Amino acid sequence: MRPSPGPAGPPPVTADPAAARGEHWWPVATAIATAALLHVALPTAYRPTPVWVVPTVMFTLLAVLITGDPGRIDRQRAWLRVVTEALIAFVTVSNLYAGVRLVVDILTNNKLFADNATGLLATGGVTWVTNVIAFALWYWDLDRGGAAARAHTPSAKAAFVFPEMQHSAHTPADWVPHFADYLSLAFWTATAFSPTDVSAIRRWAKLLMMAEATASLIVATLVIARAINILQ
């Protein structure tokens, strides 16, 4: 007689492809932490007091996001998108406040940087770098519905065409951009004031890149011109 089969074992566990494709948190967390620390480095007149308010809000919202979506970024929840966009908006608004104050001080010949070219360049550099981070976060969050949505639906309609998408022989079929790709896009938009190797194919993406290039051009031009004037 053939022996009776034993009890069936548990069904095999299959890995979630979305979880495997999801991004790690550390690049985004590093960018947000950098923006928070750079804000502390601004002159007192360019940030709200006490000094810990803005960094505390940024780190708190970041902690909420990581707690709500631990490990790789792959959970599609409406409240996570709301918190993500609230955090990015907070980074943007806090830097916009500093940038506007800087431009006003330059145009009105404020005494804060009347004879301090080094301080002016440092403040302008902090504002410029934070601006790059803020726009990188917006690109990262808005393209294809955000990082979690990209992990679940890599083929979703994109707002940006990256070189990897045009050279499929050198990239996996399910390749999707990660935060570093959007940071590179934001950096070159702020540096070259125009698209470089990434093309925007949605109208909102084109307008967002125009806004970043304009902000970068205004800050860079005024800061450098004022610093040269001080040195002379």
pLDDT at residue number 116: 83
pLDDT at residue number 15: 47
104 domain-assigned: yes
Min mean pLDDT across 16-20, 81-85, 174-178 is at 16-20
Task: Answer with the residue of higher pLDDT: 22 or 111.
Answer: 22
27 domain-assigned: yes
What's the mean pLDDT in 161-165?
A: 91
Which range marks the domain in which residue 183 is found? 22-231
187 domain-assigned: yes
Structurally, the chain folds into a number of domains equal to 1
Q: Are 185 and 216 in contact (CB under 8 A)?
A: no
Min mean pLDDT across 8-22, 140-154, 164-178, 198-212 is at 8-22
pLDDT at residue number 13: 42
4 domain-assigned: no
Residue type, 181: D
What's the residue count for the chain?
232
pLDDT, the chain, mean: 89
Q: Which residues pair with 81 in a beta bridge?
A: none
What's the mean pLDDT in 94-99?
A: 95
5 domain-assigned: no
83 domain-assigned: yes
Task: Answer with the residue of higher pLDDT: 45 or 193.
Answer: 45
Task: Answer with the residue of higher pLDDT: 18 or 130.
Answer: 130
What's the mean pLDDT in 213-227?
A: 93
10 domain-assigned: no
154 domain-assigned: yes
Phi/psi of residue 73, nearest 5 degrees:
-80, 105
pLDDT at residue number 9: 53
What's the mean pLDDT in 93-110?
A: 90
Q: What percent of the chain has pLDDT over 90?
A: 66
pLDDT at residue number 136: 98
Burial 182-219 (b: 16+ CB within 10 A, else e): bbbbbbbbbeeeebeebbbeeeebeebbeebbebbeeb
Interval 3-40: pLDDT, tens: 555 555 555 444 456 666 789 999 999 999 999 999 99
pLDDT at residue number 175: 87
Rounded to two decimals, the pTM is 0.89
- Nearest-CA neighbor of 141 among 215, 208, 60, 210? 208
pLDDT at residue number 3: 55
